[in-house]
């Protein structure tokens, strides 16, 4: 089964999305959005940017 984005409303009635892997595990979550359209734009941004995004390892701050 392929991964999928789920759009839902949280307790504050804000729109959010989560990306689930094929096994149902949540692998990414979005911020709270005022409108469903903004939430959908957030999903499109993840789709457009994730494939070419570099992996950056951060060192712990002392």
Q: Residue 61 domain-assigned?
A: no
Reduced to 3 states (helix: H, G, I; strand: E, B; else coil), residue 31 is coil
Q: Residue 58 domain-assigned?
A: no
Q: How confident is the model at residue 1 (pLDDT cuts 50, 70, 90)?
A: confident
Per-residue pLDDT reduced to its tens digit, 15-61: 999 999 999 999 999 999 999 999 999 999 999 999 899 999 999 88
Place of tokens 């993840």: 46
Q: Residue 62 domain-assigned?
A: no
Structural domain of 42: 4-50
Q: How confident is the model at residue 62 (pLDDT cuts 50, 70, 90)?
A: confident
d(CA 37, CA 19): 17
Place of tokens 């979550």: 29
Q: Residue 57 domain-assigned?
A: no
Q: What is the CATH number of the domain that holds 32?
A: 3.30.160.160
Q: Residue 60 domain-assigned?
A: no
Instruction: Say what the pTM is.
Output: 0.83
The number of distinct structural domains making up the chain is 1
């Amino acid at each position: 089964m392929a991964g999928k984005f789920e759009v839902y409303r949280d307790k504050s009635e804000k729109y959010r999305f989560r990306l689930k892997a094929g096994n149902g595990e949540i692998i990414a979550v979005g911020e709270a959005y005022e409108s469903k359209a903004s939430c959908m734009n957030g999903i499109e941004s993840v789709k457009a940017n994730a494939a070419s995004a570099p992996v950056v390892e951060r060192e712990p701050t002392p």
